[in-house]
A and B are shown apart, each in its own frame.
Chain A
């Protein structure tokens, strides 16, 4: 009987081996080969020695940081006030709805909005500010990336606010805390799990938004993702691309550690 059960799980186990473990192993393996298929450490040497790759990585991390920060600044108040509205589930649904629209279409919309005689420049024209180059700048990349990521930050924060026991807030008020004190000493610390989940959900993808850097950033902003895409699909230097991929995986692991560990700790102390 047990043998028969194994048969049911076999596809799932195969999936783990073939599509989770093997690809990661292969990308690490590939990173030790140069463009001619020779085993080498040169890719890592190039990565760490030529300043361009390190600069690109820092640049990518910096933009991901900015995107996450701006998104957080917009999302926290939105989640907080959304939580207090009457039909909050309906409003939340409306916040999530745009995420069901293809990302490429949203980026495409901004190509129109930001273009030389698009809506924004038209608007600026009323104030006598002549047409500005907005599309293909760092600014436009930041705006569009933030726009796309906002719902993914609102959702976890909203959920953590839902889990927050309202009597804690009432207790804090009864004990004489001001609104600000209640917020900083009670609400914010207790919703940190949601904030961290949001950071995790945004920072990592922000490192790899290559389609936005191509469509909106005009190849000025080079992220880790853009570099990987270029090495794999344009210059066909898979070894170097994999090396950057390994860097991205390491960065991802670090971020998971930084945002995940404390959550686990909190769970233990709460119980």
Chain B
């Protein structure tokens, strides 16, 4: 009995440690002072300041645009990449491609950022929206592939054979059999790519020129200047946004799984 208690104390302690800084930020977003020492009085002023800050709104929109575009592109390229790896029967080639796929997953952000910076300069591409978008697509592709491959491996080859025997064309096999089967993997990949893009700071910091900024870069430059409670308000909003994203993702996932289970039961009955 006593043992159980100690374990729970530890776990509660860890949870408090993990969440205290986040709630500390959110708590002070409602303070009327100008720093995070001592709560003055309750106010919405920091949020109001945020909503009239045109520059900030523009940066938020840019960040979202980059995230949506890059995750869409990465999902398309990654899906076909995963299909390609799946169809490669040659084992050594397949392992080599997988190893290459994972290089960007394990590389530190600075290396990715620095090498992309050299790459874009080498090509003579200007830095800005284009270079940031390309970089985000590039570092999101491997995670999409990794989310989809297990789904492909779990699919029975007989399904594809059956479709072929029944006279389906390549395109029909892909669109009516394979893609629906791996849709949950594609969706997971898209979601991961989206959050990767939103979260990224280091790579963007390297390849963004002077004209273009994402939210992370903006937070970094403001945080270096010191504390401004507007950032606290922003972090509260971002916390709620990620809560909604995660909750939405899990609900959709759950629904998909429930649907699948129902279908299975029907098929069994």
Contacts and interface: CB of A to CB of B under 8 A. Distances in A.
A82 B7 CA distance: 9
Contacts of A93: 246, 250
B114 A118 contact: no
Interface stretch (B40-48, B54-62, B79-87, B256-264): B79-87
A108 interface: yes
Interface string B86-121: 010000000001001101101111111011111100
A205 B108 contact: yes
B35 A112 contact: yes
Interface string B61-88: 0000000000000001110110110010
Interface residues of A, number: 78
Nearest to A80: B7
B18 A98 contact: yes
Nearest to B74: A15
Contacts of A22: 119
A238 B77 contact: no
B100 A100 contact: no
Contact of B202 (A27, A106, A210): A210
Contact of A104 (B97, B145, B219): B219
Interface string A62-104: 0000000000001001100110110000010111011011111
Given A102-B235, A118-B36, A147-B21, 10 more contacts: A27-B115, A27-B118, A74-B14, A101-B22, A102-B199, A103-B216, A105-B234, A224-B110, A228-B110, A252-B106
5 shortest A-B CB distances, which residue pairs? Answer: A112-B36, A12-B81, A23-B115, A208-B108, A9-B84
B109 A233 contact: no
Given A8-B83, A11-B77, A232 B206 contact: yes
B52 interface: no
A241 interface: yes
B220 A215 contact: yes
B14 A105 contact: no
Given A118-B37, A245-B114, A11 B80 contact: yes
Contact of B219 (A77, A102, A150, A214): A102
B201 A104 contact: yes
B266 interface: no
B216 A112 contact: no
A109 interface: yes
Contacts of B235: 101-102, 105, 108-109
B106 A108 contact: no
A21 B100 contact: yes
Nearest to A255: B106
B111 A245 contact: yes
16 contacts: A5-B170, A8-B80, A15-B138, A24-B115, A93-B246, A97-B246, A98-B18, A98-B19, A100-B199, A101-B238, A101-B239, A102-B201, A115-B37, A119-B37, A228-B110, A249-B107
Interface residues of B, number: 75
Interface string A124-152: 00000000000000000000000100110
A21 B116 CA distance: 11
Nearest to A200: B106
Interface in B12-52: 14-15, 17-19, 21-22, 24-25, 28, 35-38
B198 to A, nearest CB: 7
B195 interface: yes
A101 B22 CA distance: 9
B219 A95 contact: no
B224 interface: yes
A147 B15 CA distance: 11
Contact of B15 (A16, A94, A210, A252): A94
Nearest to B118: A26
A34 interface: no
B231 interface: yes
Contacts of A95: 14-15, 18
B251 interface: no
A207 to B, nearest CB: 6
